[in-house]
Structure 1
Amino acid sequence: MNAHHRQFGEKLREWRKSKSLTLDQVASLSNLSKSTLSKLEGGQRSTALGNIERLDHLYEAGGELVRAWQESRERAADPPWLNLVRESEERATEIRNWHPYLLPGLLQTPRYAEILIGHGSPGENPDTVTALAKARCERLGQLRAEFRAVISESALRSIVGTPAIMREQLQHLLDLGSRTRVQVLPLGCGFFGGLTGSFRLLSFADRTPRVECEHAGGSVLVSDAAEVRRLTSVFSELSGWAYDFRTSSELIREVLHGFAVEEE
């Protein structure tokens, strides 16, 4: 059973029940068999767009079911590691992110993300790059988790694309809501435990914590307790060496102003 078909099926069932309709009633009104409807709600099969449009109209969903169907199809085509990461993000209650060289993916603006994705996939169709960047940037708003990030000062100062793109990106960091907090690790910091690579610590209400470690071809989720403890300690050290949230925001504003001056 495809996980995305199952999630879409659950949404279908919720909409049907919100209208107090039985499967028999929907079958009669939609001209779809009860068996087909049952399999759709159970995540055991997909169906054509026309059938989803019919159900969307019947349930007065305003296009929500069509959008969810399209998203489930797109996700089903994604690599397995990305689906695992997304599922973990969506279930997490807290995410703590460290990146030594770049701004974390969930905090990126579309133009910043497009540069990174495009350079990381030479020859990729520009429309695909744009769509991937948009999808990446939308993920933060879909999460219920508290998000904390420690980023290096060098990531703030390194120009990805143009100074204008960096100004937009740094302003985005300043505009993030209270559920997202950013600390900056200063240049010349005496702690080097995070230089080996980026990682994210994910905490859950109903399962043990995990660590997501990125690599050139994607990322891997690690549940080994010893490794989770080790990287939790590394993150705590990074957070301790970093500027506090207020000072970090002041530094981000300072760097943003510097990019504005460069283009004058």
Structure 2
Amino acid sequence: MLANMNMHHRQFGTTLRKWRNSKGLTLEQVASATSLAKSTISKLESGYRSTTLANVERLDSLLEANGEVVTAWRESRDRASDPDWLNRIRESEERATEIRAFNPLYVPGLLQTPDYARIVFSDASPGENPEAIEALVEARCDRLRQLEAAVRVIIPEFVLRYAVGGSETMHRQLQHLIDLSERVRIQVLPDGIGYHGRLAGSFRILSFDDRVPRVECEHATGSIVEVRTAEVRRLTTVFSELASWGYDPDRSLAALEEIRDGFAVA
């Protein structure tokens, strides 16, 4: 139970500690001003417990956080009802210093627009409750904004030319990739190359400051985590080789613009 609480509420705790430190307040001072126990404040910051909205609002007011502490608490509460695989992905992403991603079939999840993600989730989970689909779409499309990690992705050219959802959806998706190109290193993998490492399937390599790298083998609605050294080494080599065959970022940007323009919009 403690591990789950830690995973769900770590971001809230980090936000709370950031604001307390920015104001130069000790745990004792915050506890005294809010009538909360010092141990409660400590556990909140460590992510080992949650608290009520009323308490969070008192903390936000004391720290003059302009609603940021309340927002972080609401997001952590919402995460508690999300699937375990999604919370594991979030935890890894938030701790990572670099994320390298390759998907031979779709635009990588972190870079998907809501319309594109909705189609991917719906097609992979026929009959799923529309509200559940929307929750997954929102979670997927909001994750990149919350990350500090450097992100590198390789996207096959034919993936970008395949009309998922039709021309308008793809036009918006390609424009989204173009808009992200200053934040994310995007390489387009041209058709007809002589290397077939893409047959390794969809995967992400996550690097950390405080632990060994790990690989996540992705599928449409989740991922499988692999931490064996040999597997991490193998897919790191595959990613490097794919990158060497891909266009450089400038040429990739030109390719994205050319492919976008090929999808007519009304």
TM-score, normalised on structure 2? 0.86
Structure 1 residues not aligned, in runs of 5+: none
Partner of 1:184: 188
The aligned runs of 1:90-109 (5 Å cut-off) are 90-109=94-113
245-254 vs 163-172, greater mean Cα deviation: 245-254
Summarize the Cα distance change of 1:62–1:162 in structure 2 as closer, same or farther, 3 Å threshold.
Answer: same
Distance 1:140 1:6 in 2: 17
Structure 2 residues not aligned, in runs of 5+: none
Partner of 1:153: 157
Partner of 1:236: 240
Partner of 1:8: 12
Summarize the Cα distance change of 1:157–1:63 in structure 2 as closer, same or farther, 3 Å threshold.
Answer: same
Shift of 1:230: 0.9
Partners of 1:112 and 1:165 within 8 A in 2 = yes
Partner of 2:229: 225
Shift of 1:189: 2.6
Distance 1:42 1:208 in 2: 22
Distance 2:242 2:154 in 1: 7
Partner of 2:134: 130
Partner of 2:47: 43
Partners of 2:124 and 2:221 within 8 A in 1 = no
3-state DSSP class of the match of 1:251? helix
TM-score, normalised on structure 1? 0.87
C-alpha RMSD of matched pairs (Å): 2.4
Summarize the Cα distance change of 1:184–1:23 in structure 2 as closer, same or farther, 3 Å threshold.
Answer: closer
Partners of 1:85 and 1:221 within 8 A in 2 = no
Shift of 1:160: 1.2
Shift of 1:33: 4.6
Distance 1:197 1:239 in 2: 15
Partner of 2:148: 144
Distance 2:39 2:97 in 1: 37
Q: 2:73 aligns with which of 69, 76, 93?
A: 69
